[in-house]
Amino acid sequence: MHSSTGDPFSFATDKVEEPGPYFHPLLATLITGAARLMLAITERQVADSGLEWAFCDTDSMAIAKPDAMAISDFYQRVHGIVDWFAALNPYDFDGSILKIEDENNSLETGLPEPLYCWAISAKRYALFNLAADGTPIMRKASAHGLGHLLPPYGDDHPATTIPTHHPSVLGKGIMRWHADLWWKIVSAAFAKHPDQVSRDYHPALARPAVSRYGATSPDLLLWFKPYNQAGRPYRDQVKPFGFLLAMQVRLDFGGERIVQAGSRGRPKKRKPVKPVATFDKDLAAAAASAFDRDTGEPVPESQLKSYAEALAQYHLSPESKFLNADYMDRGTTRRRHVRMTSTRHIGKESHDWERQAILGPNLDSEVEYGVSTGDLAEKLRAFIAEFGERPAAKALNISVKRLTALASDKPISGNERWASVVAARLTGARQQCTKLDRERYVALQRLREMTNRDGLRETARRSGIDPSNLRRKIRSG
């Protein structure tokens, strides 16, 4: 294992990463770093021009007009920002490497037209114009957080209460039902109830929500072990890399509980139901044949979460990267400052996260090489030097012996899990020790004031402390 934070070390793993033909980690970091630098320069240009921004992606930024600024002044300043980047163009075409997107131009005249944005969180946003009657005209919609769901309906059975979208909105992973959902989200905002988005505008949304996945790992294939071993011939079994369907179970808040009289002890925990089905183009038929992937027992359709229920909080998605970005927050977000406590070595980027968010973690999708022990050891030594071994170990909820081992420069053989756990606890432990130190300092100051005012023996009597111990405590503090 080679990293940028310490000496090479050996690591045993059963997961193999195969570099692609164009794999070059140093060049990759430069490309990524340059992209972040371009965004930072753009943000600075936007701020220096007296403008704002609504959202940004890896290679773009949506520049927003302040309310009090004239539209002509806004366009002039935006073009000034675009022209600033012309000198950085390394390509064989002329002009700037920033481009004003086509969504800024009218669908009818092709001339610039006011473009509006409704942003929920990173990569979840919609761009739209406003019709003469104030209804939104969708120009760009995001499918982020929706891609794992199969379409509940298609173009042949559209939602009759939603206008037909311009063809430029669809394509590149954006389907009609994605644009319809965003149209309802934006319409709810204009109707002054942005937290309440109607999800009954198409009958298909009342049907069970279905996701399609491939049996691309042993874990996924094991879901169908009871199904495959139920006496079915091989041709009817779910095979490696075959398609499978997954549903979500409806939350049971009001279900009736049956308690057997005379039973003792703590009742057994009910295992969560994990509904799956074999692949079927007919989603209704698939939902009717759903079964629990652990037990093989059939799952009634009444227990399956519908599309409407699965989308219930889509428009309230929090954004963990910024402050003022929780479920019910509104307005401009603020930067969240991050303090790094350790370096955790992983493989190339974590993938398949969207599937795992719905169906649960899949260890085969993650490649982790542990925490940089040298980096962690240095932070632990500083922690011990500041607060002492015993307080540090107590705050980290580990033994002094383990803390001493982790803080040493020696390789931690077989202790990678503890290194990860301690690295995750370190920030909270430091905050806890700092708080205790502050409280201890305040208590000592109060004892000193009482001793100066009332004398050592009287203060010791009132505090329930032996006078000699009180003297020692005051002097040591």
The pLDDT value recorded for residue 372 is 61
For residues 454 and 461, the answer to whether their CB atoms sit within 8 Å is no
**Other Cβ atoms within 10 Å of 12 Cβ, number:** 6
**Chain centroid to CA 465: how far?**
52
- What share of the chain in percent tops pLDDT 90? 38
| pLDDT average, residue stretch 317-340 | 85
| Cα(33)–Cα(104) distance, integer angstroms | 28
Query: Which tokens sit at 24?
Result: 């070059």
Q: Which residue has the higher pLDDT, 36 or 354?
A: 36
Among the ranges given (85-94, 288-297, 423-432), the one the predictor scored with the smallest mean pLDDT:
423-432
The pLDDT value recorded for residue 358 is 56
Distances (CA, A) of 315 to 164, 282, 305, 359: 21, 28, 18, 21
Q: Which DSSP state fits 61?
A: E
pLDDT in tens, 123-179: 899 999 999 999 999 999 999 989 889 999 998 999 999 999 999 999 888 999 999
| pLDDT average, residue stretch 345-358 | 60
Query: Which tokens sit at 15?
Result: 């997961």
| pLDDT average, residue stretch 356-375 | 61
| Cα(226)–Cα(237) distance, integer angstroms | 10
Q: Which residue has the higher pLDDT, 235 or 477?
A: 235
Nearby residues of 206 by Cβ (< 8 Å), 6 or more positions away: 200, 306, 307, 308
Task: Report the candidate in 176, 174, 71, 192 with the shortest Cα–Cα distance to residue 124.
Answer: 174
Is the predicted pLDDT of residue 410 greater than 90, yes or no?
no
Q: Which residue has the higher pLDDT, 294 or 105?
A: 105
The pLDDT value recorded for residue 102 is 93
Reduce the secondary structure of 223-255 to three states and give it as a string. Answer: CCHHHHCCCCCHHHCCCCCCEEEEECECCCCCC
Burial label for 299, CB within 10 Å (0-12, 13-18, 19+), is buried
Burial label for 389, CB within 10 Å (0-12, 13-18, 19+), is middle
Looking at this protein, which amino acid is placed at residue 266? R
Distances (CA, A) of 383 to 340, 351, 393: 14, 34, 10
The pLDDT value recorded for residue 79 is 96
pLDDT in tens, 329-342: 888 899 888 777 66
Looking at this protein, which amino acid is placed at residue 197? V
* pTM beyond 0.95: no
Instruction: Pick the most confident of 55-59, 187-191, 365-369.
Output: 187-191
For residues 290 and 304, the answer to whether their CB atoms sit within 8 Å is yes
Is the predicted pLDDT of residue 75 greater than 60, yes or no?
yes
Question: What's the mean per-residue pLDDT of the chain?
Answer: 84
Is the predicted pLDDT of residue 259 greater than 50, yes or no?
no
Task: Report the candidate in 70, 79, 56, 138 with the shortest Cα–Cα distance to residue 319.
Answer: 56
Q: Which DSSP state fits 70?
A: -
Helix (H) / strand (E) containing 127: strand 124-130
Q: Which residue has the higher pLDDT, 417 or 457?
A: 457
Distances (CA, A) of 476 to 280, 441, 450, 462, 472: 75, 11, 17, 21, 6
